[in-house]
């Protein structure tokens, strides 16, 4: 019994000295150090939106918005409700948190012809079986801005970045982590 008490005291002392302490609370999932605050670039693009795609990755779900030229500006932020461009009407979304993704580019050309016209405005892509995404919906394109609603399972950290290509086009990428 005395041996047990000695070992127990040694373990408690080691833990008290930080030798056997758990990882710090700031440790992140998959090494991701993203946050959940709004991300934005202010410029207006001369490109037009042409497609919306999604994909699944080990640590996050990905939304990709294709443009036929360089991405110049965007705003991605959590909102209480995503609203339609122009009318301000709410866009119904599944999920417990909602990202409003606004690309500073229209979904129509200079002649007013659609460059992106989804078959189903409420389900831009099938995200069934995704770990984080619940729904991707079209909120519209108005006065040079195009908006999508992204329903997610919770207010999780995300990142936003742009990629060149293919060709003269570019992509706006929104990754939402599976966990904190």
- Number of structural domains the chain divides into: 1
4 inside domain: no
CATH code for the domain of 64: 2.60.40.3500
61 inside domain: yes
6, HSE (Cβ side, Cα atoms, 13 Å)? 3
Task: Name the nearest CA neighbour of 109 among 52, 67, 73.
Answer: 67
Structural domain including 168 reads: 29-177
pLDDT at 11: 54
pLDDT at 19: 42
Within the chain, strands assigned E span: 39-42, 49-56, 60-67, 73-79, 97-103, 133-142, 145-152, 158-164, 170-177
Pairing outcome for strands 60-67 and 170-177: antiparallel
170 inside domain: yes
- Integer Cα distance of 3 and 167 in angstroms: 72
pLDDT at 21: 39
pLDDT at 61: 98
Average pLDDT across each block of 10 residues of the chain; the chain has 180 residues. List them in order: 56 48 46 91 88 97 97 96 91 98 95 95 97 97 95 97 94 95
pLDDT at 3: 61
17 inside domain: no
120 inside domain: yes
pLDDT at 57: 96
pLDDT at 45: 80
Q: How many CB atoms within 10 Å of residue 38?
A: 13
58 inside domain: yes
pLDDT at 121: 96
pTM of the model: 0.82
- Integer Cα distance of 173 and 151 in angstroms: 16
């Amino acid at each position: 019994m005395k041996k047990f008490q000695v070992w127990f005291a040694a373990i408690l002392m080691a833990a008290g000295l930080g030798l056997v302490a758990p990882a710090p609370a700031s440790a992140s999932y998959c090494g991701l150090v993203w946050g959940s605050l709004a991300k934005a670039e202010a410029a207006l693009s001369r490109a037009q939106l042409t497609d919306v795609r999604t994909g699944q990755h080990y640590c996050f779900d990905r939304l990709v918005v294709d443009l036929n030229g360089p991405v110049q500006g965007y705003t991605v932020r959590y909102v209480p409700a995503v609203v339609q461009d122009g009318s301000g009407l709410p866009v119904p979304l599944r999920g417990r948190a909602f990202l409003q993704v606004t690309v500073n580019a229209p979904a129509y050309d200079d002649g007013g012809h659609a460059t992106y016209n989804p078959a189903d405005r409420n389900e831009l892509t099938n995200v069934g079986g995704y770990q984080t995404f619940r729904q991707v919906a079209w909120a519209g394109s108005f006065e040079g801005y195009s908006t999508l609603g992204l329903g997610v399972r919770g207010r999780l950290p995300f990142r936003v970045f742009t990629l060149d290509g293919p060709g003269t086009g570019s992509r706006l990428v929104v990754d939402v982590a599976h966990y904190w």
